[in-house]
Amino acid sequence: EGSLESGRSSAEQLPAEPSPAQPVAAPPQRKSIKELPMPPGMKVEDMMSPEAAEREEGSPQVPQQQQHHQKQQLELQKHESSLTTQKAVAAMALSSTPASQAAAAASSMQVFRRPRILNKPPSDDDRFPNWGERCVDVFDIVCQIGEGTYGQVYKAKDKDTGELVALKKVRLENEKEGFPITAVREIKILRQLNHPSIVNLKEIVTDKQDALDFKKDKGAFYLVFEYMDHDLMGLLESGLVDFNEHHVASFMRQLLDGLSYCHRRNFLHRDIKCSNILMNNRGQIKLADFGLARLYSAEDKARPYTNKVITLWYRPPELLLGEERYGPAIDVWSCGCILGELFTRKPVFQANQEMAQLEAIS
């Protein structure tokens, strides 16, 4: 027992052995953004800055000299950006005035080149240049060949070309309202017609050297037509020619061709008679005198027109009965009267009043 107690006491007197050293806890490391949970629909790359992305990818460090160069470039870009902003502000200040705004709008508009027109149809200005600019003195008057609705008709020769023409005089001194409406209508219609069987209006001349002279003294205009040697009425009354069936067929074919052209252009002649049919020595027929002609509408059949047209002997029954809604048929009736006259050498239906004319027709 004594030995056990001595041993116990000696054990109590010995110093206790130190416990093994506990390891020191290291500070928690920051997790990478790729290890963090992301909300649905959000990508990791959208949350990373360029520097963080480079660290995640393990990109090599940029040398210090290259970093300095990049810094200088960034500063230069900032400086240029500030200059650009200053210029924009100055331009906005200058453009605040109305004149500058208009100039800016004009400069911003896109400019288009004018398109070229190929195969342009000839206009009236191309066919009739310098109308009314020449004086009648450029023609030599040969003789008077007839009397028109508003003046005499003369045979004349062009001094420059030697061409024979017919001058139809339009006198203004007795016109209170100016230029005669029948002459205006004839000029307007003939400018739109171009056919071998329709008389050609070449130009218009005046007897005044200066247009201002009309203020002092009313003068006259002359319609310049191609020259035709005869009219059909004069040939029939003279008895000097004898038309056979072939002549009559040729005359009527030319007359109906010209009339059909007028109707296709929606014009009614409304005064077809032998004195308005011209002919030259080669047997060519020309329809003339469009003073009563007018434009008509084939679609608008309800539109009324005057029935006081066409010389009585060539007037159709519907006009004699007072009809005011008519069309090309009235001209065809007149052509039929001329056809009969070419064979009989006198008007087919002759009367002095409308009712008597109806009786002659019936």
The pLDDT tens digits of the residues spanning 186-228 come to: 999 999 999 999 999 999 998 876 555 555 556 788 999 999 9
C-beta separation of 285 from 251 below 8 A: yes
End-to-end alpha-carbon separation of the chain, Å?
183
Question: Token digits for 181?
Answer: 């409406």
Higher pLDDT, 178 or 11: 178
The pLDDT tens digits of the residues spanning 27-86 come to: 555 555 555 555 555 555 555 555 555 555 554 555 566 666 677 777 777 766 666 666
Q: How far apart are CA 150 and CA 204, in angstroms?
A: 15
Q: Which amino acid is at 246?
A: H
Which residue pairs, CB below 8 angstroms and at least 24 apart, start in 4-7? none
CATH code of the region 124-227: 3.30.200.20
Residue 11 binned pLDDT confidence (cut-offs 50, 70, 90): very low
Binding residue numbers for ATP: 168
Spell 30-42 as b/e; 16+ CB within 10 A means b. eeebeeeeeeeee
C-beta separation of 187 from 205 below 8 A: no
Tokens 């990109």 correspond to what residue? 59
φ/ψ bin of 189: left (φ > 0), alpha (ψ from -120 to 50), beta (otherwise): alpha
Q: For the residues 336-351, what does the mean pLDDT come to?
A: 95
Binding residue numbers: 168
* pLDDT > 70 fraction of the chain, expressed in percent and rounded: 60
Catalytic site includes residue 271: yes
List, in order, residues 6 or more apart from 148 with CB less than 8 Å away: 168, 169, 289
Task: Give the CATH number of domain 231-361; options: 3.40.50.11900, 1.10.510.10, 1.10.10.60, 3.90.1300.10.
Answer: 1.10.510.10
In this predicted structure, the answer to whether residue 273 has a pLDDT above a threshold of 80 is yes
Catalytic residue among 271, 289, 300, 331: 271
Return the domain boundaries, the chain. 124-227, 231-361
CB atoms within 10 A of CB 318: 15
Q: What is the pTM of this model?
A: 0.62
